[in-house]
Amino acid sequence: MSQTFLKSVNSNINFPTEEESILKFWREINVFEQQLALSKDRPRYTFYDGPPFATGMPHYGHILAGTIKDVVTRYATANGFYVERRFGWDCHGLPVEYEIDKTNNILGPADVEKMGIDVYNAKCRSIVMRYASEWEKIVERMGRWIDFKNDYKTMYPWFMESIWWVFKQIYEKGMVYRGFKVMPFSSACHTPLSNFEAGQNYKEVVDPAIIVTFPLETDPDISLIAWTTTPWTLPSNLAVCVHPDFCYVKVRDIKRGKTYIMMEDRLCILFKKEEDYEIIEKFQGQKLFGLRYIPLFKYFEKLRSDNPNKGAFRVLTDTYVTSSEGTGVVHQAPGFGEDDYRICLANQVFLKDEGVVCPVDESGLFTLEITEYAGVYVKDADKKIIKQLNTEGRLIQNSSVKHNYPFCWRSETPLLYKAVPSWFIRVQDIIPKLLENNRNSYWVPEFVQERRFHNWLESSRDWAISRNRYWGTPMPIWTNADFSEVVCVGSIQELEELSGAKVTDLHRENIDHIEIPSKRGGPNLKRISEVLDCWFESGSMPYAQAHYPFDKRKQFDTIFPADFIAEGIDQTRGWFYTLLVISTILFGKAPFKNLVVNGIVRASNGQKMSKKLKNYPDPMLIVDKFGSDALRLYLVTSPCVRGEDMKFREEGVRDIIKDVFLPWFNAYRFLVQTLLWRDEVCLFVCWCAYLFVF
């Protein structure tokens, strides 16, 4: 053991500096590329990397998931497998468009049309990879081996072409339909969201909670009373609904001197003491069916009908009404509630071909139909509507309620539930197969698979895959005006053959003008304006990253399904879900064999990490201070790896240095010094023997 080697073990080691020197050495010898080349002919272990957006910087959640991915793929390589590790980028969708809308003061579709879709999409393209170089630097600094040179981007034409192929396969299986449904709608982004997107970002808010009257036409002195937390939907009221089997009462309000009809079990919402009211009559809700009432507003009087089984402003019945909240009388605004829409359509409050009453535009503003509030944002109208109802004597209680409410995951604005036409995938038809495929995969931890994901799959709804946006993969559907002739295109070549046009890029500005001749001799078919949900793109990445089926068709079985994927627990309603839905429809099986789910890294006070609040330290400052190995080890030994949330503490990273790295390093130094001391003793003995002999 040489003296030179001993000097290389500095007692005052700086771990971040040592890591930098190792990274430099790795770069000099192209260590990752060499490792891939040396294992090229070994059995393949397939890994899919979920694509992030490069419009923001990596956070601790990315670092944790990236570390788990790095550990597993390195382990697989060490066990004799070839592991291709391609980095991917999400390029389309709301995260990019929202940034452009903010910086260019775009308030709605009219502003985009005025600017021009080509200019708008060019602006989107310009910021897609805004932080790509920073991502590469951070990922490399964390010591992760991943291939950035052979990456995939969802905006590549070849990637988008595979998306078209995937969509056409699903379409031809009869799994795609166009429908009119009440959906979570982002007024800031002017587009509907899928239910799993709406489920990603609930916040606790305080909303108004009011009780209003609906006097009976036959006896205005008797009123049905309904409770609502969305006063802005009351101008669109077309009916009220009661439970057919529950007990309702006609009750005398002694203090107010009024007579109301409500559910017996819900008397507590209006009366604190039994002496405050007198029950006049009891009956089942079914007895109320068909009664007519005086509407709150007169905007939609035209929907009233003399036919007792048709028209608006009637009492309807349905078992979705509960006895756990409200008054047991639910106001129905079919343009803003899924059950409202279903019940009113079934009872012919409106006819499907006439369209549902939905007087709110894509920006969440009342339309001209609501004359008194036209142009007012619906949430801002709550107080004004409450004041008007109070003035007119229709308000009997005004309070507030604290509850969880969905917010747009991108704009952080409250979602509205709004009736919009959209394209859907029939997910509900395949729920049993989804559950079976979920059981056939292996998850760590198991409880996420068996409970959280299983429960989500069980309650799956049809997936709204269309978006009224611009920067995305256009839906490959060409149709005539009444949708009686529809053509679904599955490739660039197919579009060129059908239209005679030359196609080099699939974004809207390059194909919206292309028309396909009608086979029936009618007008040319035009492409619908919608683009695909960006989650559809990421869910199709197992095929699109390989440009399947246009390339690598023979090798596809060696890369599908993945042996391993890993992401955060929030992806149970995101990437994990969309991967499974698309794979189940296309191939009847799960797209992954093994899956690791990590929990959420939160700020030290338990709150969600927020750049605005600055409630967490910059990851690179932690790395510069303690080193990436300490941060990696801190994260992968945390409760997050068990699927639980954790509170990030800088002291925890420091303790890894103090409790793990320094004891290890001191033991290493002791070993080196011991070996050197042994060599020096041996040298002394040999020298003495030499002197004795000679």
pLDDT (tens digit, 9 = 90+) per residue, 98-131?
889 889 988 888 899 999 999 999 999 999 888 8
Q: Output the 3-class SS for 469-511.
A: CCCCCECCEEECCCCCCEEECCCHHHHHHHHCCCCCCCCHHHH
Give the span between the Cα atoms of 161 and 183, in whole angstroms: 28
**Nearest by Cα to 640 from 197, 49, 63:** 63
Burial grade of 328 (CB within 10 A; 0-12, 13-18, 19 or more): buried
At 610, give phi and psi (nearest 5°): -135, 125
Q: Are 490 and 168 in contact (CB under 8 A)?
A: yes
Mean pLDDT rounded to a whole number for the chain: 90
Beta-carbon contacts of residue 103 (< 8 Å; ≥ 6 apart): none
Q: Are 608 and 653 in contact (CB under 8 A)?
A: no
* Three-class SS state of 647: strand
The CATH number given to 206-303+310-334+381-402 is: 3.90.740.10
DSSP category for residue 428: G
* Three-class SS state of 396: strand
118 is a catalytic site residue = no
Beta-carbon contacts of residue 33 (< 8 Å; ≥ 6 apart): none
Q: Are 649 and 655 in contact (CB under 8 A)?
A: no
In the prediction, which pLDDT does 1 show? 38
Catalytic site residue from 49, 90, 533, 570: 90
Catalytic site residue from 611, 659, 664, 687: 611
Q: Where are the alpha helices (DSSP H) in 246-404?
A: 338-346, 378-391
At 41, give phi and psi (nearest 5°): -90, 5
Q: Output the 3-class SS for 561-572.
A: CECEEEEEHHHH
pLDDT digits (tens, 9 = 90+) for 454-478: 999 999 989 989 988 999 999 999 9
pLDDT cut 90: percent of the chain above it? 69
In the prediction, which pLDDT does 584 show? 98
In the prediction, which pLDDT does 83 show? 95
Q: How confident is the model at residue 670 (pLDDT cuts 50, 70, 90)?
A: confident
- Range in 161-170, 268-277, 425-434 the model is least confident about: 268-277
Q: How confident is the model at residue 445 (pLDDT cuts 50, 70, 90)?
A: very high
Evaluate if residue 367 carries a pLDDT over 60: yes
339 is a catalytic site residue = no
In the prediction, which pLDDT does 350 show? 83
135 is a catalytic site residue = no
**Nearest by Cα to 597 from 146, 139, 222, 65:** 65
In the numeric block, the tokens 């060499």 are attached to: 34
In the prediction, which pLDDT does 68 show? 95
611 is a catalytic site residue = yes
Evaluate if residue 3 carries a pLDDT over 80: no
**Nearest by Cα to 543 from 529, 557, 532:** 557
Q: Are strands 463-464 and 416-425 parallel, antiparallel or unpaired?
A: antiparallel
90 is a catalytic site residue = yes
In the prediction, which pLDDT does 370 show? 93
Q: How many other C-beta atoms lie within 10 A of the C-beta of residue 432?
A: 10
In the prediction, which pLDDT does 685 show? 57
43-171+535-654: CATH superfamily: HUPs (3.40.50.620)
Give the span between the Cα atoms of 444 and 457, in whole angstroms: 18
Q: Where are the alpha helices (DSSP H) in 403-555?
A: 431-439, 446-447, 454-458, 492-499, 508-511, 534-539, 541-544
In the prediction, which pLDDT does 688 show? 58
608 is a catalytic site residue = yes
535 is a catalytic site residue = yes
Q: Are strands 147-153 and 86-89 parallel, antiparallel or unpaired?
A: parallel
Catalytic site residue from 258, 433, 593, 608: 608
Evaluate if residue 375 carries a pLDDT over 80: yes
- Range in 500-504, 554-558, 675-679 the model is least confident about: 675-679
In the prediction, which pLDDT does 429 show? 95
Q: What is the mean pLDDT of residues 646-656?
A: 92
In the prediction, which pLDDT does 692 show? 53
Catalytic site residue from 49, 51, 591, 629: 51
The domain segmentation of the chain, as residue ranges, is: 43-171+535-654, 206-303+310-334+381-402
Q: How confident is the model at residue 681 (pLDDT cuts 50, 70, 90)?
A: low
Evaluate if residue 25 carries a pLDDT over 90: yes
Q: Cα–Cα distances in Å, from 109 out to 113, 190, 320, 361?
A: 6, 8, 36, 11
* 56 alpha carbon, distance to own chain's centre: 16
Evaluate if residue 42 carries a pLDDT over 50: yes
Q: Where are the alpha helices (DSSP H) in 327-453?
A: 338-346, 378-391, 431-439, 446-447
pLDDT, greater one: 595 or 404: 595
Q: Are 639 and 649 in contact (CB under 8 A)?
A: no
Catalytic site residue from 406, 535, 561, 563: 535
Q: Cα–Cα distances in Å, from 224 out to 153, 287, 382, 390, 424?
A: 57, 13, 21, 16, 37
pLDDT digits (tens, 9 = 90+) for 203-244: 888 999 999 999 999 999 999 999 999 999 999 999 999 999
In the prediction, which pLDDT does 279 show? 95
pLDDT cut 70: percent of the chain above it? 95
pLDDT digits (tens, 9 = 90+) for 491-549: 999 999 999 999 999 999 999 999 999 999 899 999 999 999 999 999 999 999 999 99
Catalytic site residue from 89, 123, 575, 619: 575
pLDDT, greater one: 308 or 292: 292
* Three-class SS state of 281: strand
In the prediction, which pLDDT does 505 show? 95
In the numeric block, the tokens 């039994």 are attached to: 274
